[in-house]
Chains A and B, each alone.
Chain A
């Protein structure tokens, strides 16, 4: 096994804008108004991957083979997403042949069409919020405090910490509620840091985007939380289907 059909996304049948694609090999396999974005690829680089994903996420290196392939996947999905709604496929989806691709579209025509309608006219935005102030204050007591003074001081510090923490959480909740109100759908994302008060993805209609960003600004102005926004993304976090494929089971391992 050396070559396979790498699949990137399900989209609507259209004429691919080849100029926008990072790879001229990318093409569309169509079936009744749907299209599967694919490319003939050499599978060896995929099969030889041995990157530790945790390390790749913590210490990203652009020249890592996994990163190169993941960037390429993202670039293809994005290029199509510029013009048409897409349902991104999980990285590393390799189909046996064009027939398999057409069968996939045929078997899941209704579901895929419905999901494309759902994400059409939307873009995904990632939002993270964290405390604007350190929650754990510097607590080195000055020398020469009496016992009572020390305890009073400690109590004040505890109250202040609790207050900061609560205000931050409330601000993050308010932010989420406001953003969710502008979004068609929202999913929490796995939080990469304990310090994050909010880490979620929002599926936002393009018409709502100015209002969505205005909500972010508004909450930033309050000053309790620092907000990071990423995007716009193709709806990666909202393509949550598992499509079972019928027929013979055939697991081809790398030779």
Chain B
């Protein structure tokens, strides 16, 4: 145990990303604070992603996992078949919908045209 310490990074992480958030009008929107918070969230999210990627570098490293390369090939093959299947299903749905639309003779409505 390295003992108790409250590093600056820990303070920033807690103060900037934690705590009760007040949403709405009574809070003044200090634009740059919002931006900072957003950027911090993005940073934390990407750190999280990095960790997740880092956590399984074992399985991706051919030295530690000689099957990694093969798995990669299989993985690439399988979803391709799945995607093709989904693709044809979706095409079918689109054709169906186009037909329905044609039958009803509905004119396309512009988004936001209606209140």
Contact = CB atoms under 8 A, between A and B. Distances in A.
Interface stretch (B29-37, B87-95, B98-106): B29-37
Interface in A83-98: 87-96
Interface string A124-150: 001000000000000000000000000
Interface string A190-211: 1111111000000000000000
B30 A70 contact: no
A241 interface: yes
A252 to B, nearest CB: 5
A54 B3 contact: no
A25 interface: no
Contact of B18 (A46, A228, A239, A251): A239
A89 B29 contact: no
Contacts, number: 207
Given A192-B47, A196-B51, A245-B27, A53 B12 contact: yes
A116 to B, nearest CB: 11
Contact of A249 (B9, B16, B25, B48): B25
Contacts of B82: none
Q: Give the interface residue-count category, chain A.
A: 35 or more
B25 A53 contact: no
A34 interface: no
Contact of A60 (B12, B27, B40): B12
Interface residues of B, number: 51
B69 interface: no
Is chain A's interface secondary structure helix, strand, loop, or mixed overall?
mixed
A156 interface: no
19 contacts: A1-B28, A49-B36, A53-B12, A53-B39, A74-B11, A89-B21, A90-B16, A91-B33, A92-B37, A94-B28, A158-B64, A229-B3, A231-B6, A239-B19, A240-B18, A245-B24, A245-B27, A249-B24, A254-B30
Q: Nearest 5 A-B pairs (CB), nearest first? A: A194-B54, A245-B24, A92-B33, A60-B8, A100-B26
Interface of B: 1-34, 36-37, 39-40, 43-45, 47-48, 50-51, 53-55, 57-58, 64
Given A43-B28, A220-B1, A245-B26, 5 more contacts: A67-B12, A73-B15, A88-B18, A245-B24, A247-B25
